[in-house]
Amino acid sequence: MPESATPAVREVPVSDAEAGPYGIAAGPDGALWLTLVHGGRIARLGLDGAVAEYPLQPADCRPMVITAGPDGALWFTLGGADAIGRITPAGETSLFRLPEAGSAPYGITAGPDGALWFTASGTGRIGRITTGGEITEYPLPVPGAFPAVIAAGLDGALWFTLNRADAIGRMSTGGEAAVHPLPTPGAGPVGIASDGEALWFAEILAGRIGRITVDGAVEEFPLPDPECRPHAVAATAAGECWFTAWATGRVGRITAGGEVAEYDLPARDSEPHGIAVGSDGALWAVLETGAAARVAR
């Protein structure tokens, strides 16, 4: 898509408004997989608009972030059940309880070692779970940092946002942690994604998008509305990312040249949260109002 072009946007209903679509990931079957945080369900959205839902137990388990795993299944965090969930493309679900109550797992990603890595926001840890369900957790050197979203970097490590520490963390697959403070106080980073060279992240409290290289150099991009509350990011190419701004009902794009563009969704109060690249090459954002927005690029 040319940098000056406005992308075509259409909304696809995926649930009732009370279900709260939150996380989204492209699955190995070519469909989009969503978490319904308030509804306690996982939804599958085909590119043809067909929706299937899979209930989870307990009903108040609060599924949050979802990712494609190395085993052909989707893995997701259950913030209200202190557990990690797994669902196959056929809809078969499994649940793995974490060792400690109050863990409140949130972010999850496939690691470079064939396991899944997740954040335990409530206990301030980074966790690792094998596809067989074995769990290991590693403490962080910053108390109360509230680790949020996590992504695999090109350096073979895991990178994650530390929402209450205004920092980005890095952990090796051996559990060694490092912390990179952000230059902006009160940034509140949440989403993070790798573009194959560096990592992009969203500063929800400062209204900025940031980029950090694997050697710790940080660059920040102020957004036009500092109160837009950017939440999730999806890196589409080296030097470029897309993001959701849930307070203003928009999705946005940072180009390789550092230019910022934002695009209105049909409803300003749609509250877009998660964002992912679909198998059709489009951006898909999930909306709190019960829909997914497809953004052509």
Q: What 3-state class would DSSP assign to 8?
A: coil
Q: Annotation-wise, does 271 bind a ligand?
A: yes
Burial of 92 (0-12, 13-18, 19+ CB in 10 A): exposed
Phi-psi region of 80 (alpha: psi -120 to 50; beta: other; left: phi over 0): alpha
Burial of 142 (0-12, 13-18, 19+ CB in 10 A): middle
16 DSSP assignment: -
Residue 165: how many other CB atoms lie within 10 Å? 23
Q: Which helix (H) or strand (E) holds 118?
A: strand 116-120
Name the token pair of 67.
């990712």
Residue 110 neighbours by CB under 8 Å, 6+ apart: 67, 68, 69, 70, 75, 116, 117, 152
What is the CA angle 175-131-30, rounded to 5?
115
Question: Largest alpha-carbon pair distance within the chain?
Answer: 50
Burial of 9 (0-12, 13-18, 19+ CB in 10 A): middle
Among residues 125, 229, 273, 294, the one annotated as catalytic is 273
Active site residue 180: no
What is the spatial distance between Cα 205 and Cα 252, in angstroms, rounded to a whole number?
16
Q: Annotation-wise, does 288 bind a ligand?
A: yes
Q: Annotation-wise, does 203 bind a ligand?
A: no
Contact between 232 and 244 under an 8 Å Cβ cutoff? The reply is yes
Q: Which residues are annotated as a binding site?
A: 231, 271, 288
Catalytically annotated residues: 273
Binding site for substrate: what residues are annotated?
Answer: 231
